[in-house]
Amino acid sequence: MTDTVLSIAKSLVGSAVSKVASVAAEKMVLLLGVQKEICQTLSRQLMKLKDRHRIAIQIRNLRTRIEESFVRLELLKDLMMKLFGEEVLKKQMRELEGKVPQVDDLASYLRTELNERREENFVFLPRGTDYEAVQGNTRHIAFQGSKYCSKISFDWSIIRSLTMFAERPVELEHSVCSSQLRMLRVLDLRDAQFTITQNDVNNIVLLRHLKYLRIARYNNASYIYSLPKSIGRLDGLQTLDLDSTNISTLPTQITKLRSLRSLRCMKQYDFSSFTTCLTDTLCLPMIFTPSVSTSDRAEKIANLHLATKSFRSKSNGVKVPKGICRLRDLQILGVVDIRRTSSRVIKELGQLSKLRKLYVVTKGSTKLKCEILYTAIQKLYSLESLHMDAVGCRGIGTLECLDSVSSPPPLLRTLRLNGSLEELPNWIERLTHLRKFYLLRTKLKEGKTMLILGALPNLMLLHFCHNAYLGEKLVFKTGAFPNLRTLVTFNLDQQRDIRFEDGSSPQLEKIEIGRCRLESGIIGIIHLPRLKEISVEYKGKVAMLAQLEGEVNAHPNCPVLRMAMDRSDHDLAGNAKGSPP
């Protein structure tokens, strides 16, 4: 038997080495990609051979080259995504569709893009770096330095793009939206290490050329409670992303931004801070005295607005103004508070024909408003992602009115439902393009739930969270879930086992469980030919863990069993039998 294996391996390696020697270096990755599966199989068969066998050494060297090539490919993909964004990477991969992506393909594209950007110099200023690196042709700056590091100054008006990862620069101490940045097109403050104040936002009108604005809270605090009416003058603005602010209502002037493509405004809601905010209102007489610093004054004023206005909304959504239908190019919209938004405006949502992503909060809204919303959603033929949230500070609301939907968006790829549902609507089975399904607090019953989900032909990710499923057994039937890649179950109180029948979930690669007690264990992993990982997260307990480990070790695809805590914290005694043969 050994002689036969050696003979086959020698022939294949000899042929591969000959081909490698005869082709150009840039084609090597393509050749190795074709031979990858064969070489991996032979490598496993030859692991027992000693290094003195020449053929074993050749096989292992070839395997090393393959692994290095694919590592370089993944590194290039990661670099491209970080530099240019996910959309650019997807576009380039689509251009390479139909052939094995090569390292040189992506490397060549990367060089071209960087050379083009060199004409408009991009400068990264790490901590401790002076501004002397900023040249006359500098247009894009990623600032990670300290506000005290500057020994020389430069002309901020030449900057077109500014991304902050550090403290507020001393030149922009008065306001980060300064007239010094009057030519700015992109302002990304999501990772800034300082708090953005209401004064900063009020001065946003000074940045008349702005196309992209992204702001988030710092240290779980936000001093932003409103958008100025002057925001309507930024007629070139395309992206407005305000994450976890205290804004509860969008001004009417937002409808003048006809170039807007992405509008995200999520309000933070922390009921525990209400007492603090209310107490700060008692300090009003002292706020404007010289003894109070500028930062403290901004905090007290923000808390005053939070206590008197923002807390009334009782959700993380915002009220959307009349005229939202004028934003014809809008592709992303969230988070819309349906309870506080008028029925007329909800109806206008159906006129946003280019909308691809929609996030709404329905907690506390009337049945009539929900029906108007669902009617509007049925008109959004371009919608690819829908997030519906019925959870608020006073408990879990219902999504049962979803049954009134007769014709769901045909291109829906991502669906997230957070709220009581009990039974899946019948139209779910018509979502043939659905790839990701997140279910939270839906309280789905055993029965047709898994039958409906299992029939979705393109479903790749299924996420059950916070008692989304109330059945004890999560059974994957034969022939169901043909394209499922990832299964996540978290905090399902009644779940007792996960069972895979022969012929179910043939593409499943990852199983992740947390905060549950699988008293019957995970049964049938031998029927998952592509399984790569089983991850047991925080407070996840599995019966007969040792037996599961044995089944994982014996699995032909060599999956990994990961445990977030000590092994003893995850092991749960049980009487379950292992996977069927």
| β strands within 407-552, DSSP E | 414-418, 436-440, 461-465, 473-476, 486-490, 497-500, 510-514, 516-518, 521-523, 533-536, 540-543
Dihedral sign, Cα of residue 518, residue 521, residue 522, residue 524: negative
Kindly state the percentage of the chain with pLDDT values over 70: 65
pLDDT of residue 424: 95
- Condensed to tens digits (0 to 9), the pLDDT of residues 91-140 reads 666 665 555 455 566 666 666 665 555 555 666 666 656 656 566 667 78
pLDDT of residue 580: 40
Asked if pLDDT for residue 51 goes beyond 50, the answer is no
β-partners of residue 523 are 499
Higher-pLDDT residue of 488 and 243 is 488
Confidence category of residue 533, pLDDT binned at 50, 70, 90: very high
- Condensed to tens digits (0 to 9), the pLDDT of residues 140-188 reads 878 776 554 555 466 778 888 888 887 877 777 777 888 888 889 999 9
Please give the Cα distance from 362 to 353 (Å, whole number): 22
pLDDT of residue 563: 92
Alpha helices for 85-142 (secondary structure H): 86-95, 103-119
Q: Structure pTM?
A: 0.74
- Condensed to tens digits (0 to 9), the pLDDT of residues 459-507 reads 999 999 999 999 999 999 999 999 999 999 999 999 999 999 999 999 9
Asked if pLDDT for residue 18 goes beyond 70, the answer is no
Confidence category of residue 20, pLDDT binned at 50, 70, 90: very low
Confidence category of residue 409, pLDDT binned at 50, 70, 90: very high
pLDDT of residue 567: 86
| β strands within 178-317, DSSP E | 186-189, 212-216, 239-245, 262-267
β-partners of residue 245 are 267
Q: What is the mean pLDDT of the chain?
A: 79
Contact 202, 225 (CB under 8 A): no
Which tokens belong to 85? 């964004």
- Condensed to tens digits (0 to 9), the pLDDT of residues 280-337 reads 555 655 565 665 566 666 666 666 656 555 556 678 899 999 999 999 999 999 899 9
Asked if pLDDT for residue 1 goes beyond 50, the answer is no
